[in-house]
């Protein structure tokens, strides 16, 4: 309960820090580039095989039902509503959130956080807020990258390996996937990045026990982020279906 209370307290302080000026743009840019570097290649590495698996399965089912001409619709729906968000969950939690925890945890162990407070500098405004905003921004970029990989990969795999018409694939992309699906996908990515950033920052700031404690905190960050983000994905998917996603 203490950890939960501390986490929500940090969330409130982070929200309050958004009203303070000036915003740490330099830290935001540095952290955004850092998180993008550590997450981009894992994102592509996870997205490609998942794209092949999902699109291949969908196309097999469509061919069996004589509906291969609408393969683009299935690929778009899968990529936008599930493939993008799920891969984003795995990468943001597995690479992004843990990187934030390791960075802030090392600073905490070296007592840099205490030094900032002694100097009258708010560590939430100086360190946490830029990292949370950067994590949120990068998550949206990764989600878009995964969707692009899914659509292009689905086209290449379907047209050149399963003999599906290229024109039919492209023309049916927006058949059942429209603005509501895109909005839900973006909202998911924003939420995933926000939660992952907050979890990573909290565990980094509360680490104790030296290097061993830092390793434990990083592992806990991974587990907590994955569990939380998958739970949020279920909730947001349910809301999306309720308000028209997939119809």
The span from the CA of 221 to the CA of 133, in Å, is: 18
The span from the CA of 238 to the CA of 247, in Å, is: 13
- Is-contact 168 71, C-beta < 8 A? yes
Closest to 27 measured CA to CA, from 132, 139, 146, 158: 132
Angle at 94 between CA 42 and CA 115, to 5 degrees: 115
Helix, strand, coil distribution of the chain in percent, nearest 5: 85, 0, 15
The span from the CA of 188 to the CA of 84, in Å, is: 9
pLDDT value at position 167? 85
The span from the CA of 188 to the CA of 179, in Å, is: 14
The tally of CA atoms less than 13 A away on the side-chain side of residue 166 is 6
- Number of CB atoms found within 10 A of residue 8's CB: 12
pLDDT value at position 96? 87
Q: Distance from CA of residue 62 to its chain's centroid?
A: 30
Q: Tokens 């981009």, residue?
A: 40
pLDDT value at position 1? 62
pLDDT along the chain (247 residues), means of 10: 82 90 90 90 86 79 78 85 84 87 92 89 92 93 90 84 82 84 89 92 88 88 86 84 61
Which tokens go with 150? 């899914």
pLDDT value at position 95? 86
């Amino acid at each position: 309960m203490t950890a939960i209370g501390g986490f929500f307290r940090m969330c409130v302080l982070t929200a309050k820090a958004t009203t303070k000026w000036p915003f740490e743009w330099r830290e935001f840019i540095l952290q955004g580039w850092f998180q993008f570097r550590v997450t981009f290649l894992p994102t592509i590495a996870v997205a490609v095989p998942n794209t092949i698996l999902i699109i291949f399965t969908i196309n097999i089912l469509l061919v069996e039902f004589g509906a291969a001409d609408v393969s683009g619709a299935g690929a778009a729906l899968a990529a936008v509503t599930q493939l993008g968000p799920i891969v984003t969950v795995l990468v943001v939690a597995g690479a992004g959130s843990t990187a934030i925890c390791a960075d802030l945890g090392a600073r905490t162990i070296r007592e840099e956080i205490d030094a900032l407070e002694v100097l009258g500098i708010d560590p939430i405004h100086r360190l946490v807020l830029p990292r949370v905003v950067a994590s949120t921004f990068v998550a949206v970029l990764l989600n878009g990258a995964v969707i692009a990989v899914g659509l292009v990969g689905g086209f290449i795999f379907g047209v050149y390996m399963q003999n599906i018409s290229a024109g039919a694939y492209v023309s049916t992309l927006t058949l059942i996937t429209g603005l509501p699906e895109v909005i839900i996908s973006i909202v998911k990515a924003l939420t995933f990045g926000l939660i992952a950033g907050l979890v990573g920052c909290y565990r980094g700031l509360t680490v104790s026990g030296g290097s061993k404690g830092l390793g434990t905190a990083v592992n806990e960050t991974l587990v907590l982020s994955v569990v939380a983000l998958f739970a949020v994905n279920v909730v947001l998917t349910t809301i999306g279906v309720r308000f028209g996603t997939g119809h």
